[in-house]
């Protein structure tokens, strides 16, 4: 069984008992394959294929990467982990970091600079995901494009992965990202898919289309689902200094849906591994250079030397539209797909995910529904 932080063990995120719990228990961090029933009759959103253009993936320059470091000031760091949200009816939401999260942030600030151990023996018991199509997948696109289309999106885990749309109040245009169910009504994505510094604030009319598999409304096998509320880390707003690298560490977003979609379609697990180490990363989403509305997967190796406390890098292929895709490992010991990060940025040499470290997991837990 994997080694998790004491805080996460205490909250029973991914303990042995949790992995053995009955199906459909909605516990933060646990995976669930769903009951296999269609949600088609429960459509709550007005999905119009073709109206959205992929949201541009932020580019992290070498100079920005060197400056993308955690805040050293405890007060500012704790404030950065506050919850900032917007409800579908336009109400603003603001919640300060709770005491558990504050303690985690302070602990991380005082931890040694090297957040990884060389042997990394306590990461996931890692194997290739047996649910993904066979074949090699590799590396914005690095070298040959080895991504593969997922053609049967109605089966788990693909039923839990979806296309996310958002509207810019400033321009009236729609943009698209990728997102993943992590609970009955909880969808994980990137903050820049929900909030645009360039547009001056929140996007709107978020719509989640799980298992989308083509360019027509009929290709949405489960329908489309409207949001109840959207949330990002306060640091993604407060710490912006005019360039993306100043806020990459807080580029996480949560969308709460109006309806319980996950009980039918399933959701992926998520966790912090103390020593993530070498693992096979899987990224499934909706890259904009592929036919509209089609789902694609990429797999690649993530090496311990590319994993930091706050983020990690890899050469899995991505493209605008892939923003917000979960980066998950298949833990063969737990027989679960466990999200370890969220794909957020590209650079000349690698793509970048925000790591689900202990603080980020605790922040997500506070929004779990």
Domains of the chain: 6-71+78-365 (2.40.10.120)
Per-residue pLDDT band at 7 (split at 50, 70, 90): very low
Kindly tell me if the per-residue pLDDT of 280 is higher than 80: yes
| Angstrom distance (rounded) from CA 39 to CA 36 | 9
Per-residue pLDDT band at 296 (split at 50, 70, 90): very high
Q: What is the pLDDT of residues 99-129, one digit of tens each?
A: 999 998 888 887 765 544 433 335 677 667 7
Residue 168 and residue 179 in contact, taking contact as beta carbons nearer than 8 Å: no
Q: What's the pLDDT at 293?
A: 94
User: Does residue 74 sit in helix, strand or coil?
Assistant: helix
Kindly give, in sequence order, each residue whose CB lies less than 8 Å from that of residue 212, ignoring residues fewer than 6 positions away. Answer: 153, 162, 163, 219, 220, 286, 293, 295
Task: Give the up-direction half-sphere exposure of residue 335: CA atoms within 13 A in the CB hemisphere.
Answer: 6
Kindly tell me if the per-residue pLDDT of 149 is higher than 60: yes
- CA gyration radius for the chain? 18
Residue 37 and residue 266 in contact, taking contact as beta carbons nearer than 8 Å: no
Q: What is the pLDDT of residues 53-105, one digit of tens each?
A: 999 888 877 666 555 556 678 889 999 999 999 999 999 999 999 999 999 88
In this prediction the pTM is 0.87
């Amino acid at each position: 069984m994997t080694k998790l932080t004491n805080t996460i063990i205490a909250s029973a995120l991914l303990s042995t008992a949790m992995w053995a719990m009955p199906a459909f228990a909605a516990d933060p961090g646990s995976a669930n394959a769903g009951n296999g029933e269609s949600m088609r009759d429960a459509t709550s959103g007005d999905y119009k294929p073709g109206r959205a253009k992929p949201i541009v993936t932020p580019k992290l320059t070498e100079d920005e990467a060197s400056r993308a470091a955690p805040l050293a000031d405890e007060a500012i760091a704790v404030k950065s982990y506050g919850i900032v949200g917007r409800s579908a009816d336009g109400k603003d939401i603001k919640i300060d970091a709770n005491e558990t999260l504050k303690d985690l942030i302070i602990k991380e600030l005082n931890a040694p600079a090297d957040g990884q151990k060389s042997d990394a023996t306590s990461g996931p018991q890692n194997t290739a995901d047996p649910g993904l199509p066979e074949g090699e997948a590799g590396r914005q696109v690095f070298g040959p494009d080895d991504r593969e289309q997922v053609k049967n999106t109605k089966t788990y885990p693909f039923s839990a992965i979806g296309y996310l749309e958002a509207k810019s109040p400033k321009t009236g245009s729609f943009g698209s990202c990728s997102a993943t169910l992590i609970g009955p009504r909880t969808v994980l994505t990137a903050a820049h898919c929900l909030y645009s510094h360039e547009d001056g604030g929140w996007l709107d009319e978020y719509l989640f289309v799980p298992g989308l598999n083509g360019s027509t409304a009929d290709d949405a096998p489960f329908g489309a689902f409207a949001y109840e509320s959207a949330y990002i880390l306060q640091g993604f707003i407060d710490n912006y200094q005019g360039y993306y690298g100043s806020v990459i560490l807080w580029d996480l977003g949560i969308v709460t849906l109006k309806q319980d979609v996950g009980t039918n379609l399933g959701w992926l697990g998520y966790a912090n591994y103390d020593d993530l180490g070498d693992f096979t990363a899987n990224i499934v989403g909706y890259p904009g250079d592929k036919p509209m509305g089609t789902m694609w997967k990429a797999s690649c190796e993530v090496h311990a030397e590319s994993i930091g406390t706050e983020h990690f890098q890899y050469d899995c292929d991505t493209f605008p539209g892939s923003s917000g895709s979960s980066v998950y490992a298949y833990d063969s010991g737990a027989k679960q797909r466990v999200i370890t990060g969220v794909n957020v940025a590209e650079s000349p040499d690698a793509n970048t995910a925000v790591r689900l470290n202990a603080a980020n997991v605790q922040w997500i837990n506070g929004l779990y529904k």
